[in-house]
Amino acid sequence: MKLPEPITREIVLVGGGHTHALVLRMWGMAPLPGVRLTLIDPAPAAAYSGMLPGHIAGHYPRAALEIDLVKLARFAGARLVLGRATGIDRAKRRVQVEGHADIAYDHLSIDVGVTSDMPGLPGFRDLAVPAKPLALFADRWEAFVSGVTSGAVAPEVAVIGAGLAGVELALAVRHRLGLSARVALIEAAEPLAAVGRGARAALMAHLQRSGVVLHAGRAAIACTADGVVLEGSETVPASFIIGTAAARAGGWLQGTGLALEGGFVRVGPTLQSNSDPHIFAVGDIAHLTHAPRPKAGVFAVREAPVLLANLRALATGDRAQVHYQPQSDYLKLVSTGHKGAVADKWGLRLDGGLLWRWKDRIDRKFMAKFHDLPTMAAQGPAGTPSDRPLCGGCGAKAGRGALDRALARLPAPQRADVATGAGDDAAVLIIGGEHQVITTDHLRAFTFDPYVMARIAAVHALGDVWSMGATPQAVLAQIILPPMGEGLQAEWLREIMEGALTIFAPEGADIVGGHTTLGAELTIGFTVTGLAPRSVTHAGARPGQAILLTKPIGTGVIMAAEMLGAAPGRVVAGALTHMQRPQGRAARLLAPHATAMTDVTGFGLAGHLLSILDASGVAATLRLSDIPTLPGAVELAGAGHGSSLLPANLAVRARMFYSDGPKAELLFDPQTAGGLLATVPADVAEGLVAALRAAGEEAAIIGHVAEGVPFLTVDD
C-alpha cells in the first residue's frame, strides 16, 4: 500500500473569519501535499456579516448566514480545533488554546475579527450586547425576540452608535419588531459622519419614516436595567441594548509581542506582521500600514487569494510574495429594514428595492461558496481518498459475529489466577485475593485533532474498567502516527499525551509506557489495568430490575455523516464533547448497586444489552421514548446515514421485537466512548438517576429486566 506523502509543515489559521473561510475553500480545491492545515475557532460556525441585518430583520434564517466550519474544514482536509486562542509563544512557534494543548506552527495567520464591546461604559458588559462577535449577537437577539413574542419582555431597543452598522441594525430591528416597538439610536457625535452626502440623506430619511428616535450629539454614560443613560441624566428606555460604536481587538494579542496599532496587528503589503515574517493577519484584526482602511468585509474577501498565495509560497520555499493593495473606495450597500437598500459611493443618492435585490444576490452568491461545496473525493483522517470512507472509532471494528466465532475457538483459561475467559468487558486476575482487571482498546481516528482523539480514546479504553466496577490503575499507550517528519512526530505525540493525561490523571491512572509506530493513518489505543473489591460482570441481571443508561446514543451515525460532509457542525461539536466526557463518577455511583454492567460501544445499545441478557439468562423490555439520543442523530439516521459497522450490528434483530424507524435504528448504532449500561434493583433506580443527573450525567431508566429466554422487546 502506498502511504500518503509525509507531513512536514504546519500552517495554522487562528479564527474563522471571511478571509480564512475562503482560504480553506480554495485549499480544499488544491491542497498542498505535505502540509497540514489547522483552523482554531471557539465555535463550529461563523456568521457572515453581510447578511446579519437581513437576519435581524427576519428576511434570512440563521442557517443562511452561517459558514459551517466543521464541514468546511473537512472539505479542506484541515484540522478544526474548537477552542479560543489565548496567546502565541513565538519563540517555540506555538499557539496557546484554552482547554487544549498548545498547537505548533511553521506559519500562522490571524483572522479573529473584532468586538463591539464597550468596557469603559458602566453596565455595558452585564446589560448590553455588542454587535460583534456576530454569532453571539445573533443568539442573544433571537432570545430577545422570543421574549417579546411571548410577552415576557418589552419591545424596547436602544442602539449605541449611529454609523453605518448602527443605522442598519436600528432599521432592521424596527422592521422585525413592528411599529409598536420603541427603537432608539444614540450617537455622541454626528450620525453617519463617514458616509457620502447622498447616502446619508437617504438613510436619515429612512430613520425618520420608520420612527426610530435619534439622539444625536449626546453620549451614553451608563447602561442600566431600565435602559441607556445619556449625558444630562435622561434615560432612553430599553430592554435590549446593542453596541456598535466600538471596534476593538482582542486583548490577548497584547501579550504576543507583535507590533500593534491600537490593538490591531500591523501588517505590510504581503499581509505579514511587521515584526514576525512567520505570522500574517487579515480581515478586521489587521492594520494595513501601507494603506490604512476602515474595517469592512470587502477587504477581507479580497485578501484571501493574496494570503493563500503567500502561505503556499512560504511552505514551498518560494521567495516570491504577492502584494495586496486595497481599493481606495468601494460600494457600500446598506439595507433599510424592509427589502430595500441604499448605495454609498461617489456621494450619490441611490435608494430602493432594486438595490436590495442586488445586495441579496451578492450575499447569496458569496454564501453559496460554502453552502454548496464542490464534490471532492471523500477523505478520512489520513487524507486518503475513497468513495465512502470506513468509519473511525468503534465504527471501524469487526462485526460481533466474526468476533464471537474467533473467541469461541479460544481454550478456557489454564491459570488459577485468571478468573474470566474472553467475552466480558475486561479480563479479571485474582492477585493476593484482590481483583485486578485488564483491558485494551484502540481507535482509528475520526477527527483530525490528535489531542481530542486522545481524550476520546482514553475515555473509550477506561469504559471497560469502569463497567467492571474497578478503579483505573496503570496505562500503556499504543500509537500509530501517519507519515510525518521527526519534528512533527514529537509535536503530535506531545498533544496526544497531554490529551490522554487530562482523562487518566483525574482517575488516578498513570501512563507507564507504550509503543509508537508509523502507519497509514492515526490510531490511538490504550491498555488499562484497574483494581476492584469485586468485579461487576455481564452475568447478574435479574427479573424486575431496572436498566439504566448514563449517556445518550448516536455518535456512530453523526461521525459517519460528518466524514461525508453531511452533518451540521453544531451536531458534530456536540458529539465530540459528549465522547470526551469521562464516566468515572457515574461508575462510582453505579458500581455498589449494579448487578450487571457494560459500556455501550461498537455493537450498539441493542448488541451490548443482549450480551448481558445472554450471560444472565433473562429477557428485557426497553421504552424507545425514554432512550436519550444526541441532538441531530435521529435526523441523520432518517436521512439514510449510518456507520460502516451498522449492517453487521443489525444481525441481532432476529432476537428482538421493535417497530422500524430512525430512532429505533440508533439501537444498533456503534458508539465510541459511550455510556454505561447497568441493571440495578428497582427500588434504588430512581435515586441513582437523580444522583447521576446531579453529577452532570444525562442518565435515564430505559427499561426493565424480565423473565424468559434472552430476547429484547422495544416498546414505542
What are the cell numbers at 122? 458602566
Non-local (6+) Cβ contacts of 63 within 8 A are: none
For residue 175, the tally of other CB atoms under 10 A from its CB is 24
Closest CA to 463 of 678, 680, 689, 675: 675
Tens-digit pLDDT profile for residues 112-129: 988 888 888 999 999 999
Tens-digit pLDDT profile for residues 144-200: 999 999 999 999 999 999 999 999 999 999 999 998 999 999 999 999 988 999 999
- Quickly tell me which residue has 424507545 as its cell: 624
pLDDT for 295 equals 81
Please provide the average confidence, as pLDDT, over all residues in the chain: 91
Q: Which of 159, 162, 394, 714 is catalytic?
A: 394
Alpha-carbon span 668 to 123, nearest angstrom: 52
User: Is residue 384 very low, low, confident or very high in pLDDT (cuts 50, 70, 90)?
Assistant: very low
* Res. 529: pLDDT tops 90: yes
Tens-digit pLDDT profile for residues 412-444: 666 656 666 555 677 888 877 788 899 999 999
Non-local (6+) Cβ contacts of 151 within 8 A are: none
**What mean pLDDT is predicted for residues 227-233?**
93
pLDDT for 385 equals 41
For residue 447, the tally of other CB atoms under 10 A from its CB is 25
Dihedral sign, Cα of residue 286, residue 288, residue 293, residue 296: negative
pLDDT for 394 equals 57
User: Is residue 299 very low, low, confident or very high in pLDDT (cuts 50, 70, 90)?
Assistant: confident
* Res. 572: pLDDT tops 60: yes
* Res. 611: pLDDT tops 50: yes
Peptide bond just before 119 cis, omega within 30 deg: no
Closest CA to 394 of 559, 581, 522: 559
Tens-digit pLDDT profile for residues 396-410: 666 666 656 665 666
Alpha-carbon span 195 to 204, nearest angstrom: 11
**What mean pLDDT is predicted for residues 344-373?**
91
For residues 343 and 356, the answer to whether their CB atoms sit within 8 Å is no
What are the cell numbers at 245? 460604536
DSSP 394: G
H or E segment and range at residue 467: helix 450-467
Dihedral sign, Cα of residue 96, residue 102, residue 107, residue 111: negative
User: Is residue 345 very low, low, confident or very high in pLDDT (cuts 50, 70, 90)?
Assistant: confident
DSSP-based three-state secondary structure for 439: strand
User: Is residue 296 very low, low, confident or very high in pLDDT (cuts 50, 70, 90)?
Assistant: confident
What are the cell numbers at 712? 429484547
What are the cell numbers at 29? 480545491
pLDDT for 388 equals 54
Tens-digit pLDDT profile for residues 2-46: 666 888 999 999 999 999 999 999 999 999 999 999 999 999 999
pLDDT for 568 equals 96
**What mean pLDDT is predicted for residues 379-405?**
56
**For the whole model, what pTM was predicted?**
0.91
Alpha-carbon span 595 to 681, nearest angstrom: 8
* Res. 632: pLDDT tops 80: yes
Closest CA to 283 of 523, 109, 147, 159: 109
Domains of the chain: 9-113+249-330 (3.50.50.60), 124-243 (3.50.50.60), 417-535 (3.30.1330.10), 537-716 (3.90.650.10)
For residues 309 and 315, the answer to whether their CB atoms sit within 8 Å is no
For residues 388 and 382, the answer to whether their CB atoms sit within 8 Å is no
What are the cell numbers at 507? 482517575
Closest CA to 151 of 239, 247, 75: 239
pLDDT for 135 equals 84
Alpha-carbon span 307 to 321, nearest angstrom: 10
Closest CA to 41 of 292, 195, 250, 267: 250
Alpha-carbon span 187 to 220, nearest angstrom: 8
pLDDT for 379 equals 47
For residue 656, the tally of other CB atoms under 10 A from its CB is 18
Q: Known catalytic residue: 223?
A: no
Alpha-carbon span 146 to 152, nearest angstrom: 9
For residues 280 and 108, the answer to whether their CB atoms sit within 8 Å is yes
What are the cell numbers at 406? 474467533
